[in-house]
Structure 1
Amino acid sequence: MATQTVFGPLSCEASRARIPIYSNASRPLLLFCALLVCAHSACAQFQQPFVFSTGGAVMTRNDQTGVLTPVQGSPYAAATFQTLDAQGRFLFGLGTNGIHMYQVDATTGAFAEVPHSPFASSNTNQPAFIAVEPTGQYLAVVNRQGTNPGESSIDTFKIDAANLALVPVSGSLLELDSTVIGAGADLKNRHFYLFLGPNFLSPNLQLHSNSELNDYAIDPPTGLLSGSTSQPGNVGRCFAMDPQGRFLVIGQGQNQGQVGIVPIAAVSGVLGAPAITILATSVFPIEISTEVTGKFLYLTDSNTASPPVHIYAIDPQTLALAETASSPLPGFTSVPAFMGDPTGPFMYSLSGTAIQANMTDPQTGYFVPVPGTSISAPGVDGSFVFSIPPGQQNLVGPVATLTPTSLSLGSVTVGSPSPAQTVILTSTGDQALSLSLISITGANASDFSESDTCQAPSILQPSKSCAISVIFTPSATGQRLATLAVTDNAPGSPQPVQLDGTGVAPPPPQPAVTLVPGSISFPTTTQGTTSGPVTVTVTSSGTAMLHISSVVIGGNNPGDFTMTNGCAATAYAVNAACTITVTFAPLAVGLRTAMITITDDAPDSPQSVQLSGTGSAPPSTKPAVTLTPSSVSFPTITEGTTSGPQTVTVTSSGAATLHISSVVLGGTNSSDFNMTNGCTATAYAVNATCSISVTFAPLATGPRAATVTLTDDAPDSPQVINIGGSANPAITIGAAPGGSTSVTITAGQTAQFNLELTPGAGYTGGVSLSCSGAPLAATCQLPSPVQVSNGNPVPFTVMVTTSGGAVVFPVPNAPPPGPFVYIRYLSLVALGMLLLILVARKSNFPSLQPAAGFAVRRNMAVIALLTLLWVAGCGGGSAALAPVPPHVVTPSGTSTITVTPSATSSSGKSLQLQPIQLVK
């Protein structure tokens, strides 16, 4: 006995006009595969209801509360089952081209795949659905692919329990003329149902709009199939099963959508006549699902990304549909994929490894989580197969579910209340629960009290809940017992919740201390002053008299705190109080801490009160200086110009008269700044001010910095004002438009450089130019001082003249010698000969008289004098020509000529200007 939904809810294809147009002809087949393994319920020989998850978990379920509890040993290996053997021996699942078989322990629910599994016949081709029959001898397999394209098929297997195998039944193959888009079975496994859609691959055009509902049964003696076929409409689209086996739902339609509710006979399982509800023209069902009460149907009719989920109420008599006022279903963009309890009022939603039981609100059709049913356990993520023990029936009529069914309120001191614990009362039947009384009875009923939101007498509609809170206040020691009783119109009334708790004797009387406040943080206090007093109240808060033996102050800085002890009595009765007063007088700057320690006869003695405060320095009695601003930054200006003044205000901000001895401008570029000192008085009273004015007159480019230093009698003297600014060039030299700084010429030519002077913004004046680096025999010609004004370029020309190639000057002819020249030569020869004669005579007559010797020497002297006169006369009579100077030529090669500008600031100071280099 089983109810099974294999392919539904499914998405179905759209059609329009009279000819069905399918944008994706294979989409039903893809969805068929994707939703192969779904929830399955079966009546089986188990003594308790199990839930098997394809994720491997096995759980027992409580159809009264909805709670699922994993069995010992869960989870097992993940599996692919979807059908439970009616005898409770096996689970069967779908493989790619075979049937998996798992053996189940009927007592524990444990399962394991049998040897040689999976099994197949020659006809097995992408199996999609498995149905069993009540005797447990056979099963039927629906194959997605049949013999011909676009067709499906069914064949059957014998369940060989002894050999743990599936054996194909000869001659059981049944060919279906179209594609199966949904299948299910009744709870008692007597019949299974197939819903067929279009077959676009068939040559039979009628099958292109097919909508066929087939009802089959497996013959227990032979394993062969018998059945009936109906065609409730055309273009089958989607399918759903009632989780409790009362009806199935089909979605179809070619020109307009239709939804059919087909009843299932409770006694035989045979399908009845469908009740067709017509949707609007060109509105077709896409997905369909139902819920366990059988009162609501959920439907989408749009292929948009987030379609609304419509809620339809099912008329219990006619099975007609009507959209509810509560439609659409909030929070859903597809029909709910919940798994319905076949014998309880619960729909189970799954999120990862967490599962939650929900009930259907009978007025709105919304799903309401059942308190206390959410669990998280490994292996629960998958499709569920529900077992139904023999004889178990659906919950009908009013049902009261209490969660939990007992409360233990723990050990509580006699006379003291425990924390409240809560019991949830839920109406889990299909009829309203009428509450008449909620009471506490039993041996120690007076020790327990309840308060609730049920407000009996009252009516609790199906799926609705209320809360009952219980408090335990023991009147005696030992175990105390009672019963919370809920009296209503449900079977088993009054429903009990067992209550227990233990009363413990109160502890013997003992003193205790309460300190208020438990710590003191004083505000910041100036060193040398005393804070306001703060009082600590000491209360005897125990159950016996308190005896204080000492109150002392200690810690890191006890000298900074003064305590007045008002707790000097020897004993304090219960609830009596005394006070301790503390003041803070810091002896140093910064955080100061201490601690008051109270020693007494309370169990937690000694008690302490933490003290803290921050000491601040006393105000100064000396002069002080405040500079506003403390630094000066000038905006960028042009070299050679002067900025507007900036003023620094000097304030005598101390507690005594300020005496300024000097104000000096200095630093790296002090010549670029001008200072006007307005602080020349000898003394400045407290809060008096003076000013120092500074201007920026840069003589060079780039960042410029200086300082103004004040020397005075303040403790932090000297004070320094940092001054800064940046300057752009006063003059920039460059090539004029169309000009160049490089010229190539030959010797003798003149190099011409067309340049321009560009003054910086605001600069006006004369610029002198000088030239250096001209090559040999070249001259550099520059214009006289050039006047420039405020950023306007002024063109000028530099001329470099060179010297040409060498010239050989002729030497003039010498005049012919005169006649006297030759006479001078002959006389010179005669004098020479005479000299030789005299020398010879001297050597031949060494015995000459002294007088004769003297005469010889005299004659030789005369001859020498005559020779000298001749030479002089010869020179003085000559006429020599002046030498011809050499011609210098400018050498070849590259020459670098530097043109250097010079200018002054408005105050006449020289500026540092950048030269330009010209290449010849």
Structure 2
Amino acid sequence: MALINGATFPIAAVTPPALSFGNQNIGATSATQTVTLKNTGTGILNITSIGFAGATGDYTQTNNCGSQLTPAGGAKDNCTITVTFAPTAAGSRPDIIQIADDSANSPQAVALSGSGVAVQGTIQLSPSTVAFGNQPIGTTSTAKTITLTNTSSGFALTISSITTGNAAFKQTNNCPVSPATLAANANCAIQVTFAPSAAANVNANLTVTGIASNSPQSIALTGTGTSAGASGAPDFTLTSSQQSITEPSTGGTATFQVSAAPLNGFNQALNLTCTAPSGASCSASPASLTMDGTSIPSATVTVTVAGASGGGINPHTSELRQVRRPIFASILPFCVFGMVAIGRKRRTMFVLLLVLFATVLFSVNCGGASSGGMPPGTYQVMVTGAATGANAASHSTTITLTVN
């Protein structure tokens, strides 16, 4: 016991005299280590300060020492100083804890050592996207698992945070919380659920940050909130702004709109095709509609009826065609009788006259013909929307085309 001429005085002792933190990733915080400060004297130890001799900022400390320690054997004759190491640069990063007090051996010192190492860890998330599909408002989906792997070799991975960025997606995980680390080549599981609050498409990213060369890393999360009572697979309806169009047989162009409305969050690309009768053509612009599950996109359909062209049959000569046949049939026997009854010289002349008569008769029937364009009548134009993929579907709408 420290007692000189009846006087008492404190004696400060620290254990251990040094702390070693080994290698630590730059920017990552180590596990804690502790130093014990004890008053082994007979007098009260008055503590002035506890700090670091260096100015690197690589070490931090907290303590429960207060301003005094009681004499040895008292209620509080010792306290604990907790130290962590978070290197700010590569290489050896030494420092010293200094404790100033009224002990004769003040200041007490504890040597600190540790090395900062360049980050070599890599965060890997699998799968690269997670799709929840349709989920009724107010309900929670089955959890989907995302695997987080530390693909580094020889370096532990410190995980700083795991977030989804949208309240509709919740996550839980069994990953180590800093300052704990994920060992090299080890993995942990992240469970994500989807609970939409509105009837809409919801997109977000699961993001993992940590001490890694590729931090942060994200994967896409998607889901569609559906109204209460909505059921069935995603689908769409296809409707036309007009039920019929009319064009002249001599040619013309008509336009109308087709619209695609999503059902149950249908959100795939829709390819449009148009089928027209012979003598007409049609096309849709744009030829593809982008469906996002909520909006109703539309396209313009153009129908063109072909104009008139030469070389057809004149409808006004149809009656002449019917008259020609009996006339020719009735004259033919007389022609044959005449050829037999007359002489050879006159027979030659008769043949020439017969050929001339037939030519005139046929030209009356065929001459001056021209086409009036697409024949008058009622036709159908069909527009079809088709999607492939997870929610493959195809629907058509039909428009009546009247040609006058």
Return the TM-score normalized by structure 1: 0.15
State which structure, 1 or 2, has the greater radius of gyration over its C-alpha atoms.
Answer: 1
Higher helix content, 1 or 2? 2
Higher RCO (CA-CA < 8 Å; seq separation 6+): 2
